Amino acid sequence: MIQAKVAEILESNQFLQEFEINGWVRSFRSNRFVALNDGSTINNIQCVIDFEKFDPETLKRITVGAAINVKGILKESEGKQQRVEVEAKEVKILGDANPEEVKLTILSPKRHSLEKLREQAHLRVRTNTFGAIMRVRSKLSFAVHSYFQQNNFYYVNTPIITGSDAEGAGEMFKVTNFDLKNPPKKEDGSIDYKKDFFGKETNLTVSGQLEGETFALGLGQIYTFGPTFRAENSNTSRHLAEFWMIEPEIAFCDLDQNMDLAEDFIKYVVKYVLENCKDDLAFLEERLANEDKSKPAAERSDMGLIEKLNFVLENNFKRVSYTEAIEILKNSKPNKKKKFKYIIEEWGADLQSEHERFLVEKHFKCPVILFDYPAKIKAFYMRLNEDGKTVRAMDILFPGIGEIVGGSQREERLDVLQEKMEELGIEEEELWWYLDTRRFGTCVHSGFGLGFERLVQFVTGMGNIRDVIPFPRTPQSAEF
Amino acid sequence: MIQAKVAEILESNQFLQEFEINGWVRSFRSNRFVALNDGSTINNIQCVIDFEKFDPETLKRITVGAAINVKGILKESEGKQQRVEVEAKEVKILGDANPEEVKLTILSPKRHSLEKLREQAHLRVRTNTFGAIMRVRSKLSFAVHSYFQQNNFYYVNTPIITGSDAEGAGEMFKVTNFDLKNPPKKEDGSIDYKKDFFGKETNLTVSGQLEGETFALGLGQIYTFGPTFRAENSNTSRHLAEFWMIEPEIAFCDLDQNMDLAEDFIKYVVKYVLENCKDDLAFLEERLANEDKSKPAAERSDMGLIEKLNFVLENNFKRVSYTEAIEILKNSKPNKKKKFKYIIEEWGADLQSEHERFLVEKHFKCPVILFDYPAKIKAFYMRLNEDGKTVRAMDILFPGIGEIVGGSQREERLDVLQEKMEELGIEEEELWWYLDTRRFGTCVHSGFGLGFERLVQFVTGMGNIRDVIPFPRTPQSAEF
């Protein structure tokens, strides 16, 4: 007897071989056909039960959600739904699932809304949709590591708790060991952080970039892949308070090479899931197509999910300077007809999501890399161009997702960096260690950040970012 | 001309080929020999400079720590230290390093203490020791992912910010968005957490296990690999407030299979670094041998680093029940002679680090798996044995490291689990979702947690855990 996963049995040609399978019952039709799933694939193995040969007490306990152990013989299936099936010889109930209780959960066999599934995030991975998403997410994670490791990047775990609040990427959560009812105070009434666990004010990181740079300027090329946090009250389908970010950083690399890297990287990971998640992607494509049917025609996708992924693989990302993009937008129909909420009037305007979507979805109809943004709307560490007013920043915009990558060539000149920090009121003492990298063998270097959940959204076609992470953290919600 | 990494050039046989190299100067001897490193390997490429052909101003700026670009021809080296060298045709200074300033840092070419290196954690990756450790750490991370992915485990990102404080693995850090000077309070004077970001009290996770279990009972077999936190005031060489943990969780898996998995996993990752980090391990072995020389004979290792790694590969871990271990300890010399700080008097005693070290280093002289611990000294979720007093727990103990893995078969029986939680005062409402996994198709399942930094310590031979993570977080310290 071979103990095997459902995924293996479904591929097997060892007919008449006896197999042992553990799994959860997805359905039990006609007191005869058990659809069994063990998470190894989206597909179920059909176990055929001759009810006359089984104890009625056992049969009664084969209910949706129950865990069972089946021993049986592999056969070619007569049904058209499946190639193979298992003729059950023995069935053991491992864990019951009371049908009355199951009815109250998302395990019950009917269509549940994504909102309802979110409320039962501890069970939703047992549904087809979330099983598929989480398998794809896992494969995509491995593709990320594989790409960088194959290309001789080193993985670096930058700190999660940070004493530095100068990263400037957004609002931070505080981390403390104080009794909040009664934190120690100094004579002047301010909080005495010296008495806190770390002896100073600490926060959850918003980005590992600055620490990542110190490592790139020693190991040459590194990447991070870890959780980052934003304490922003954005209750949208595009924001999470806790999300995973990928941040490569490369010494001796300019913005053009940085764009090449980002494009090559994205194509690699998309190709990887196309090759390694065929069944799950096929299911997710169908799910998306069904979802689309309930939408107004204008909001439906032009392409199916897999077609869209192939499109990204096969086309160069369009590289457009901010200045060119502003010209395109200024002269666009929605701008002239005042259809945009924010009308583009002059160079220097920050681009809103509506503008990015116009460029990507209407104008270029492909992924777009915008570069050379006005210094004023970008972070302090980006390299100033010779024009004195733009910086070597780049954003990659994806259809349906918006910004998926934000990166830049970093300001490697100590004096220019110091000047910029002073202008923005960032204390040198806060970032002495960051400035040290410009003191001792500075060099041209670049990097980018990619929000992993945005990538998972793109690959799975899920519209809400809360549906591509196991347990989403959002304003007013930290269940589980 | 080929732009190449130092690691590639050192392996190259393309003599007379022109190469372009970027890197940092490690030394410049006799105004002639530049040792250049770019982080791709622990080894430097020797660039030979004919000083008569170069501008003296440029030569003056080739100083330790400076970033330079060298164009030159690959030659066989006449020196015995290296197989190949590059005859420099052109040298460009990319970033200076003022020797007077370098003197004040750990970049200066002399031996610095590990303590001093820790104070300059932003620069220490440019030293041989830390370059080697961080390259090994990166490869080891990838080995972890490779092992689980090859064995069809799914990677799961369990939440970092958690609303559940019932994990019971240790003291937790609080996460809040409140102004600590003036947090909103309820009428009775208690903090009004409803007004905090998540609408409830939240902490940093101490373990992803409970959430991991919910995923294993759907996807079959999963692993986590992410940061975990302990707000414990342990200022030792074995503790960090922030560290990375690996936690696999497997449905339909008992304790014996769990031990098999842990042993197989550890052997795989050790083998992976032995094969992929030869140069770095050779360096670290020598470092350890030198460090050992300054220790009293009794504290020195019996084996070299690589020998020790091979020993782990080639020997079965010794599996010993807690009950047997207590007998061995009770009858041991240090116990009888009262050399232990904590004398073992009877069954039920919690094992201290001194006892674990005796078992591993003196008695068995190999990695040991202890199992079937008294229920009283273990966590609530471990499966009760038929004897009613022991649980299906296991710890793996390693020489020089102590506990490297802690795991168990989980209590899958709803009633037994509920009884245990009541006994310990854990509210069912807190863990309703965890109990649900026992309500709907529960099954035998197991898992373990492995502290990644302990593993890196073991593989690199570093005695202090602060030296195997990029930016250590410990009581009173959260620099960078």
Residue range B16-45: mean pLDDT, rounded:
97
Residue B164 pLDDT > 80, yes or no? no
- Rounded to a whole number of angstroms, the distance from the CA of A123 to the nearest CA of chain B is 7
Residue B80 pLDDT > 70, yes or no? yes
pLDDT value for A165: 67
Nearest by CB to residue A480, choosing from B66, B159, B189, is B159
A138: CB partners within 8 A, 6+ apart: B149, B154, B155, B156
Does the distance separating the beta carbons of A470 and B158 come in below 8 Å? yes
Nearest by CB to residue B123, choosing from A145, A152, A436, is A436
β-partners of residue B318 are B368
The per-residue pLDDT for range A245-277, each reduced to its tens digit, is 999 999 999 999 999 999 999 999 999 999 999
Does the distance separating the beta carbons of B177 and A440 come in below 8 Å? no
Residue range B245-269: mean pLDDT, rounded:
98
CA distance A182 to A217: 43
* Cα Rg, chain A, nearest whole Å: 27
Chain B residue with Cα closest to A444? B94
B24 to chain A: which residues are within 8 Å by CB?
Answer: 218, 441
pLDDT value for A302: 80
pLDDT value for B301: 81
pLDDT value for B300: 84
Does the distance separating the beta carbons of A214 and B95 come in below 8 Å? no
| Beta strand extents in A6-83 (DSSP E only) | 18-29, 33-37, 45-48, 67-76
pLDDT band at A163 (very low <50, low <70, confident <90, very high): confident
Does the distance separating the beta carbons of A437 and B122 come in below 8 Å? yes
pLDDT value for B322: 98
Does the distance separating the beta carbons of A241 and B197 come in below 8 Å? yes
The answer to whether the CB of B262 falls within 8 A of the CB of B448 is yes
Residue B168 pLDDT > 70, yes or no? no
Does the distance separating the beta carbons of A154 and B22 come in below 8 Å? no
CA distance A350 to A374: 9
pLDDT band at B242 (very low <50, low <70, confident <90, very high): very high
CA distance A127 to A132: 8
Nearest by CB to residue A199, choosing from B39, B122, B476, is B476
**Domain B129-171+206-317+366-467 class in CATH:** alpha beta
CA distance B359 to B320: 10
Burial (0-12, 13-18, 19+ Cβ within 10 Å), B35: buried
User: pTM of this prediction?
Assistant: 0.97
Nearest by CB to residue A440, choosing from B105, B138, B226, is B105
Q: Which of B5, B167, B471 to mutate to test the interface with A (most CBs of A within 10 A)?
A: B471
Closest listed residue to residue B234, CA positions, set B477, B479, B480: B477
The per-residue pLDDT for range B87-107, each reduced to its tens digit, is 999 999 999 999 999 999 999
The torsion defined by the Cα of B386, B388, B390 and B393, in degrees rounded to 10, comes to: 60
pLDDT value for B226: 98
Does the distance separating the beta carbons of A125 and B215 come in below 8 Å? yes
Residue range A162-188: mean pLDDT, rounded:
86
B211 to chain A: which residues are within 8 Å by CB?
Answer: 122, 470-471, 480
The mean pLDDT value of chain A amounts to: 95
- Look at residue A451 and give its three-state secondary structure: strand
Does the distance separating the beta carbons of A154 and B138 come in below 8 Å? yes
Does the distance separating the beta carbons of B197 and A173 come in below 8 Å? yes
A156: CB partners within 8 A, 6+ apart: A208, A211, A212, A215, A219, A222, A223, A224, B134, B138, B470
The per-residue pLDDT for range A25-42, each reduced to its tens digit, is 999 999 999 999 999 999
Token look-up 């005869």 returns: A32
Does the distance separating the beta carbons of B94 and A157 come in below 8 Å? no
B94 to chain A: which residues are within 8 Å by CB?
Answer: 252, 441-444
B441 to chain A: which residues are within 8 Å by CB?
Answer: 24-25, 65-67, 94-97
Does the distance separating the beta carbons of A122 and B214 come in below 8 Å? yes
B455 to chain A: which residues are within 8 Å by CB?
Answer: none
A43 to chain B: which residues are within 8 Å by CB?
Answer: none
B181: CB partners within 8 A, 6+ apart: A183, A185, A189, A190, A191
Does the distance separating the beta carbons of A476 and B433 come in below 8 Å? no
C-alpha torsion sign, points A100, A102, A106, A108: negative
Does the distance separating the beta carbons of B219 and A135 come in below 8 Å? yes
Q: Which of A124, A219, A223 to mutate to test the interface with B (most CBs of B within 10 A)?
A: A219
The answer to whether the CB of A268 falls within 8 A of the CB of A143 is yes
pLDDT value for B167: 58
- Rounded to a whole number of angstroms, the distance from the CA of B409 to the nearest CA of chain A is 15
Chain A residue with Cα closest to B476? A198
Chain B residue with Cα closest to A479? B163
The per-residue pLDDT for range A422-431, each reduced to its tens digit, is 999 999 998 9
- Rounded to a whole number of angstroms, the distance from the CA of A140 to the nearest CA of chain B is 10
The CATH number corresponding to A2-110 among 3.40.50.12780, 3.20.20.70, 1.20.1250.20, 2.40.50.140 equals 2.40.50.140
Chain A residue with Cα closest to B232? A197
The mean pLDDT value of chain B amounts to: 95
* Domain extents in chain A: 2-110, 129-171+206-317+366-467
Give the number of beta-carbon pairs within 8 Å between A and B.
Answer: 332
Does the distance separating the beta carbons of B162 and A174 come in below 8 Å? no
Chain A residue with Cα closest to B154? A138
Residue range A169-191: mean pLDDT, rounded:
92
Residue A284 pLDDT > 80, yes or no? yes
A39 to chain B: which residues are within 8 Å by CB?
Answer: 154, 218-221, 251
Nearest by CB to residue B107, choosing from A67, A412, A440, is A440
ipTM of this model?
A: 0.97
Chain A residue with Cα closest to B156? A138
Q: How far from A106 is each of A94, A110, A123, B338, B352, CA to CA, in Å? A: 21, 8, 7, 59, 46
B157 to chain A: which residues are within 8 Å by CB?
Answer: 137, 227, 244, 469-470
CA distance B441 to B430: 21
